[in-house]
Structure 1
Amino acid sequence: MCENGTPIYAIPEDIKGQIKRDIVPQVLKQPLSPSTYKALFAALLYAEDYYFEKWTDFLLEKVTLELEKATVYKKKNEHKYSDGSDEKDNKIFVAFEIDSVPQRRPFLLSRDMVYAEPSDKEVDAFRGFIYHGVKSNRVLVEFGDDFHSQHHPNRRYDIKFSFNRVCLKRAHQAVDAVSETLSQKFLFPEFRRILSFLGSPPYLLGGPLIGTEVQRPVPDQKASARTGVVVCEAVIEIYKTSKESRILICAPINRTCDMLMKSLMKVIPESDMFRANAAFREIDGVPIDILRSCPVKDECFACPSLPILQKFKIILSTYVSCFRLYNEGITAGHFSHIFLVDASSTTEPESTIALANLANENTSVIVTDAPRKRSRWVRSNMAGKYGLGESYFERLREREPYKNLNPMFITELVDCEQQSDGNHSSMSFY
């Protein structure tokens, strides 16, 4: 089915009926292979989509909302990687209680939308975004000034939630677009093909996640930064030694993309890089030194024309937003190198968006992740149990030629503090 030329990827009625009755579709019981890849991941995405559909009409009535101060760390930190001295920012969030029993309420994640409508009068609902859940049943929401200007402690609200299906649609499109070449080289690389010089497989870099999902110092922060340092050093080396190279860096969250771009801007001219944002990303959430090079049209982030896009040496984007590059006309093979960073913080179908649309047999792919991490962005129990929670990195890591930690194909930053700068001779990305 299509809507305005765009596939809807509606859940087939037979699969929906099975998921609704908690019956596992037969395809999910089959082992993952090149022949089952599309059908299996499509079914996993349908299970996730059904979870959204199930909770669409969920309503909390006459809820008391409390204002709560919280200290967060400012996004506009100018340092390459934080040493824990970030400036603090005091913000006012809206807090409310939700049922602690998972079966009686939706699984909410950061950036899900919340709509609060005063129970005592008919006005447009105020839209906010979930900051994070403090405990199992307490939620923090960030609302705008329009909400705060009318709020008073005795007011009650009717609360609804909204889940963005754009990520699912992009993931469905990527799975549907998987070709035999993509499958052989990137999804199921075979040792015999590698030894026959039929193309290099993805290179895996295991280490702490580059981006932290909570804006606060963490005990292993220096180690977390180490993966980012390696990625930046590799990108800079490719940029300097291969003038024809075109590099795409994908990360699961904007904060990681911004962090990497700010680091690269210290060495690489801003004119050679482009930060591809989602159209409706909040403008005030973009660091000012990056914002000045981001085109905006009608209060939404825009993409430059195709000829201009093709001139950039380095483009940074979230996994989902890189689809915009394909939509603007960037073809598979334009990028000589694709870096998929922090892969455990996204699902394999989302990792595949860049591969299915922008990679070909000549593209070098580098995947970074924290080993043995699982995506916590999967809401459906069925989807998580049958494979959607396992990252692309982790799945490859359990296969040949990676599982024996062959340094030709994988490096793990086990003890980051003992590694000297520039000592990455086992890595060859170009």
Structure 2
Amino acid sequence: MPPSLKESLESGLDFIEFLGDRIINNSKQELRDIYNSEFKDRRGIKDPTFASVVYALVRFNKARIHKGKIYLNVKPQVRVYCDQWRRPRAPHAQGASSDPQGTAGVPPPSSAPQTPVLTPKKKLVMEILHKLKTNRKELTADKGGIEITSDPVGTDGKVHFTVAALRELFVVRFHIVNKGSNSVHFTFYTALHRIRCFTLEDERKVTRACPLFLCPGESYEVVVRYTLIHYGHFPATMYFEFCPDLPDSVPFCIVREMEAVARTPLAVELGPVAPYKKLQVFTSRPCVRLFPPSSVVQRLKTAVKLGDYRYPTYLKEIAKQWVEDSDLNSIKHTMCVSRGLLSCSLKMKNYSHRFHLLLHLEEIQMEVDIRKYDLHNQTMNQDPSNRKLLTLSVPGVAENRPSVLRGDCLRVSKSEDTDQPITVYTGYVHRVELDSVKLGFSKRLLQMFLSNMKFEVEFTLNRFPLRLQHRAVDLAVTHQLGEVLFPSGAAAASLPMPKLRMFNQQLESNPEQHAAVQRIVAGSSKPAPHLVFGPPGTGKTITLVEAMNQVSRADPTAHILACAPSNSAGDLICERLMTHMDAHKVYRVYATSRDPRSVPKNLLKHSNWDEQQDGFVFPDKKTLMSYTVVVTTLVSAGRLVSGGIPVGHFSHVFVDEAGQAVEPECVIAIAGLLSAGKGQLVLAGDPKQLGPILRSPLASQYGLGLSLLERLMNHNALYQKSSDSGHFDTRFVTKLLRNYRSHPAILKIPNELFYEKELQVFADQWEREAYCKWEYLPKKGFPVIFHGVMGKDEREANSPSFFNVSEIEVLVDYLTKLVETQQKKGLPKLSAKDIGIIAPYRKQVEKIQKALRSVPALRKWEDLKELKVGSVEEFQGQERRIIMVSAVRSSINYIKMDKDFNIGFLSNEKRFNVAITRARSLLIVVGNPVILNKDPTWKKFISYCVEERGYTGFDFKDAEGEDDIVSRLATLKISEEESAVQQHVDPGWRNEH
């Protein structure tokens, strides 16, 4: 099919950008040569002919032809960005009561947290504490003739001191002097949100019922005695109230803040390297671009076109108005259409249009977020082994912050370049090292390159996965996949279950796994998907692999496509498949961007690795179709569609970890490959664990974060328990119940909260009880510890991410004890890979990694780098013998109410579930119990630890509650509205292609 006029125009505009500064008055023949030799099909995508492109450009007034020359009507432009997180979003009146997903189910646009109904007393406390927070300068100022000083001396109304050793007494004396000309009554004093690690004393025991009369010149002393028994930060706000000895006088108050700190030398070492400053917003300048020549060689010819799917320019303005909750007359109609599309239920009729809009909104935010990694005044070096490449240092690239893959491009310009427009050079990534990348540039840059030359570096968004998702939702409509994506069950049959002899003998004794395999082989759900609901540690991947083996045995003509969102999950499928299947029947397809060093050696020879090209090359269609099982990521499955693998060639499509992919990503492996009526789709995952990571709040709000697996399980009756029997229809869904991972004490709370108490403990007894007699357990036989820490949220330099050194001190202490006690008193020998540490904030991960390198006891481990420290997302699907969790979020300011507490990722039930269920034998959670108790899920977990005597550390009962403050401050009348605070956390970027 010839390209449409619009597609030709899109290619033409891309060609104009590709030309960069070569767009001045080139002859038609010269442009044709550049187009055919350098631009056309350079990305493995079939582009229109040069004649089609020129016709489209002329038709849309982007070019004109005169006397054999083509003049391009373009000017360098400044790229405009739209940050959807910029301002708080207010709910919009239109559609406020509608469900944007309907049966697809996501919170409606108006589901922002509602202001809680407060009792009069609680409202009063809120007003008092807010006044203290927002008018601190006024409240800490001496007034009414009263002056308050302290010993030790305070600064700016705050007394900060460090306690040299635990359990040592430290005294703070507040001196109150009446320096005015009138007498004053000292009526009351107290500490707000105090921690009961100190006592208040005064000789006359001043109260409102027994005030102290201070004549001019008289003084009085209030004494605070601190005794700290735990490391951490212990704040208090001292509140002093006075009343002039005059008729109709009004009471006034003076506030002083205190903070006692107990910390180890390690905590000092890990403190902020520089004061926190907000990251400067990047600016864009007009530019022209230069590209290096392409060297892409692929054997898989393009048969199905992949469009560009650029978002319309007006969508940024719509997103901006949406964020600001305003209506601009010029786009009012378009905005109403967009709102209407997202506010109605998801159905096949609006399927592609809705997802196109959501994906565009996500891309707009991704463009903003990727620019936060831009580098300034950065030097590059010539690669000594290949002088055509330049090496650029990119801190964080190893952790996908940002994600930079082989084949990606970066843009650089000379820092001192002041010309308008500036020249921007595009460099393609040839190799990614630990903290640097090797880039190929055009000859023009290489010829002028000098050592120590400084550059501005701009990171770019790889749009390829987004484009595949756009095409997938279009193909889903074209191939009429309604009964796959919105199954009714009308065609499903109650087929007899085949008698099977399991390849993996362990499944013979597991009724749920055995039944799932039987149902998949029988195809009892067709054309509806069969879902394998696999809670943590229940063996869903093993179940899928067994099903693939059985399908191949039952039908030798079957062809299977096995996919997962990540390469690691795909590799696991492949390795387990080859345990029982002839390895020559299995083919692992990797994207050209995959680093061969990260591929398991036993898989490389069964993959598309090409020694001659020193990279992964997609083989021709005939080769791909010759294998029984092809294993890819969901994104790479899109290459099979492009290559023209016929619809129906794959009789079965299996998707593991399906809950981690947005629906359009999952559909990449379905639309254009699976037959709508005859194919069998199998999705495995857990809707109670983490879903996909999104960056756009608007896309998330309207359902892009809902995976196909979760949508079906939550909003399709076929995949829900019968109200009569209380069981799932096993034709469509199998819930695995046997947990082979964790000690029952670790499993108990997640089982109660998320799995209806149905999970059964089948973990190996010796393994799960390995630490039940550890001498540092608060209660023997209960291998769960919650260690309460009063820490401090800190940030440094221009990183918005939080860290908490007090929690790191505790983690390191436990690690040291684990190392010192291994192989003693029946404990197993430990290696670094037996332990995992989870933290929700990137900066905490970095600080923990730094601490591990400085602890003498841990240096004994030669494989210390195998001790994984990462975010919850990085641990999904993994397990360790010992898991430690650092909750991070705390508060130095104890005058905030519960609605102000932002506990970051911890308020997400799915994130809690994943973090807690990674451990086999020992779980240690370190966090601030006062903060975490504000969240109902964490409150249940902490209460459980307290009841089972697994709680240790700071006794959170010593933290005074708001009701205690009410009883002491009920006579004050201070009022002002409360504001909300939003913290920014930087998640890692997906790099699975």
Same fold (TM over 0.5): yes
2:720 matches 1:403 = yes
Given candidates 312, 315, 319, the residue that maps to 1:19 is: 319
**Structure 1 residues 57 and 95, CA gap change in structure 2 (3 angstroms):** closer
Given candidates 138, 143, 164, the residue that maps to 2:436 is: 143
Aligned-residue offset at 1:31: 1.2
1:26-50 C-alpha deviation (Å, 9 max, x unpaired): 2111211111111111110110121
The 5 Å alignment of 1:24-423 reads 25-26=338-339, 27-55=341-369, 59-62=374-377, 95=395, 142-144=435-437, 158-179=456-477, 182-194=480-492, 199-208=526-535, 223=537, 226-295=539-608, 296=610, 298-360=613-675, 361-398=677-714, 399-404=716-721, 405-417=728-740, 418=760
CA contact (8 A) 2:658 2:685 kept: yes
Aligned-residue offset at 1:269: 1.4
- The code of the aligned residue for 1:401 comes to L
Aligned-residue offset at 1:187: 0.6
**Unmatched tracts of structure 1, length 5 or more:** 65-92, 98-106, 132-140, 147-153, 209-219, 422-430
**Cα distance in structure 2, aligned partners of 1:242 and 1:391:** 30
**Cα distance in structure 2, aligned partners of 1:128 and 1:383:** 33
Is the partner of 1:367 in helix, strand or coil? strand
**Structure 1 residues 337 and 114, CA gap change in structure 2 (3 angstroms):** same
- The code of the aligned residue for 1:28 comes to L
Aligned-residue offset at 1:243: 0.6
Scaled by the length of structure 2, the TM-score of the pair is: 0.33
Match of residue 427 from structure 1: none
Aligned-residue offset at 1:394: 0.2
**Which range moved further: 371-380 or 110-119?**
110-119
**Cα distance in structure 2, aligned partners of 1:239 and 1:229:** 16
**Cα distance in structure 1, aligned partners of 2:576 and 2:689:** 25
**Structure 1 residues 129 and 397, CA gap change in structure 2 (3 angstroms):** farther
**Structure 1 residues 125 and 168, CA gap change in structure 2 (3 angstroms):** closer
Structure with higher RCO (Cα < 8 A, 6+ apart): 1
1:113-135 C-alpha deviation (Å, 9 max, x unpaired): 7969799899997969999xxxx
Match of residue 127 from structure 2: none
2:326 matches 1:10 = no
1:61-81 C-alpha deviation (Å, 9 max, x unpaired): 3589xxxxxxxxxxxxxxxxx
CA contact (8 A) 1:117 1:124 kept: yes
**Cα distance in structure 2, aligned partners of 1:340 and 1:251:** 5
1:265-287 C-alpha deviation (Å, 9 max, x unpaired): 12111211111111222222221
Scaled by the length of structure 1, the TM-score of the pair is: 0.72
- The code of the aligned residue for 1:162 comes to T
**Which range moved further: 168-177 or 411-420?**
411-420
**Cα distance in structure 1, aligned partners of 2:461 and 2:640:** 24
Aligned-residue offset at 1:289: 1.4
CA contact (8 A) 1:116 1:127 kept: no
**Cα distance in structure 2, aligned partners of 1:130 and 1:388:** 31
**Cα distance in structure 2, aligned partners of 1:118 and 1:17:** 28
CA contact (8 A) 2:738 2:762 kept: no
**Structure 1 residues 419 and 247, CA gap change in structure 2 (3 angstroms):** farther
**Which range moved further: 267-276 or 408-417?**
408-417
1:211-240 C-alpha deviation (Å, 9 max, x unpaired): xxxxxxxxx6xx16x111111111111112
Is the partner of 2:646 in helix, strand or coil? coil
**Structure 1 residues 61 and 303, CA gap change in structure 2 (3 angstroms):** closer
* RMSD of aligned residue pairs (Cα, Å): 3.7
Is the partner of 1:40 in helix, strand or coil? helix
Is the partner of 2:574 in helix, strand or coil? helix
- The code of the aligned residue for 1:19 comes to A
Aligned-residue offset at 1:345: 1.6
Aligned-residue offset at 1:13: 3.3
- The code of the aligned residue for 2:349 comes to S
**Cα distance in structure 2, aligned partners of 1:114 and 1:308:** 30
**Cα distance in structure 2, aligned partners of 1:7 and 1:116:** 23
**Structure 1 residues 126 and 62, CA gap change in structure 2 (3 angstroms):** farther
CA contact (8 A) 2:561 2:652 kept: yes
Match of residue 104 from structure 1: none
- The code of the aligned residue for 1:342 comes to E
Is the partner of 2:580 in helix, strand or coil? coil
**Cα distance in structure 1, aligned partners of 2:364 and 2:394:** 29
- The code of the aligned residue for 2:614 comes to E
Aligned-residue offset at 1:194: 3.5
Q: Which of structures 1 and 2 has the bigger CA Rg?
A: 2
**Structure 1 residues 20 and 292, CA gap change in structure 2 (3 angstroms):** same
**Cα distance in structure 2, aligned partners of 1:262 and 1:319:** 18
**Cα distance in structure 1, aligned partners of 2:345 and 2:435:** 42
**Structure 1 residues 174 and 126, CA gap change in structure 2 (3 angstroms):** closer
**Which range moved further: 165-174 or 302-311?**
302-311
**Cα distance in structure 1, aligned partners of 2:623 and 2:427:** 40
Is the partner of 2:681 in helix, strand or coil? strand
CA contact (8 A) 1:341 1:368 kept: yes
**Structure 1 residues 410 and 142, CA gap change in structure 2 (3 angstroms):** farther
**Cα distance in structure 1, aligned partners of 2:412 and 2:312:** 34
Percent of paired sites with the same residue: 26
CA contact (8 A) 1:203 1:365 kept: yes
CA contact (8 A) 2:655 2:684 kept: yes
**Cα distance in structure 1, aligned partners of 2:666 and 2:623:** 25
**Cα distance in structure 2, aligned partners of 1:280 and 1:373:** 28
- The code of the aligned residue for 2:365 comes to Y
CA contact (8 A) 1:117 1:126 kept: no
- The code of the aligned residue for 1:351 comes to C
**Structure 1 residues 50 and 19, CA gap change in structure 2 (3 angstroms):** same
**Cα distance in structure 1, aligned partners of 2:653 and 2:430:** 34
**Cα distance in structure 1, aligned partners of 2:396 and 2:477:** 47
Is the partner of 1:7 in helix, strand or coil? coil
**Structure 1 residues 198 and 419, CA gap change in structure 2 (3 angstroms):** closer
Match of residue 214 from structure 1: none
**Structure 1 residues 189 and 390, CA gap change in structure 2 (3 angstroms):** same
**Cα distance in structure 2, aligned partners of 1:124 and 1:9:** 22
Q: Count matched residues.
A: 356
**Cα distance in structure 2, aligned partners of 1:251 and 1:411:** 19
CA contact (8 A) 2:549 2:577 kept: yes
CA contact (8 A) 1:119 1:157 kept: yes
